[in-house]
Amino acid sequence: MGKSQSSAILRVGVTGGIGSGKSLVCSLFAKRGIPGLSADAIAKDLMQNDASLRSQLSVLLGESSFRVDGSLNRTYVADRIFSDKSLQQKVNRLVHPKVEAMLDGRFLAMERSGKRIGIVEAALIYEAGYDKRLDVVIVVDAPETERIKRVVERDKLSSAKVRKRIAAQSPAEQKAAKADYLIHNTGSLSELESSVQFLSIILHTISKKQ
């Protein structure tokens, strides 16, 4: 297990490859009273609304990164960074520190509101080194063929584009090997709910020992 800063709240990360079911798992935790944060949503908000970051991204990726109305051109940005590893790393170096600072603030707010456990969903927990700021990391995994199928249906992308995005992330096996807990999202929804319920009990037990 990783180690967050000394705090009363148990910081839990949920990660896994694209299409593994991270968001679904977090929604099931939320139904059990464990609040969640989305690093992806925070990153998109910052890229959209942080003036300094917008300026840096425009220089790095080009003015097409933002539409005429000022909104983030997510499709263009994704196509650029998933086609160029070096460019992806440069964008991450700009975005990740701001996201981490925002997450720290959100976890602190949870703690002040009396929450004992908080979850952050993030695809790049290990890649960004953010696992060092967490107490527990849960990896959600599923066969690559199933993950591709899910993302094609969800995001209306070609299977080739999904494979390119999978290739841009750390191999699923590496994430699974580092996990404190692993959820295999290969069965029915009821089976997934049972896994989340079991882990919820474990997380509450750990939080009481902090």
Q: Which domains does the chain have, with CATH numbers?
A: 10-209 (3.40.50.300)
Neighbour order of strands in the sheet with 10-15:
36-38, 117-121, 10-15, 136-141, 181-184
Annotate 42-81 with three-state secondary structure. HHHHHHHHCHHHHHHHHHHHCHHHECCCCCECHHHHHHHH
pLDDT (0 to 100) of residue 4:
46
What confidence score (pLDDT) does residue 169 get?
84
The pLDDT tens digits of the residues spanning 69-99 come to 989 998 899 889 988 889 999 999 999 999 9
Predicted structure pTM score: 0.90
Residue labelled with tokens 């849960």: 138
136 strand-pairing partners = 12
For the chain, which residues score pLDDT lower than 70?
1-7
pLDDT digits (tens, 9 = 90+) for 163-188: 988 888 889 899 999 999 999 999 89
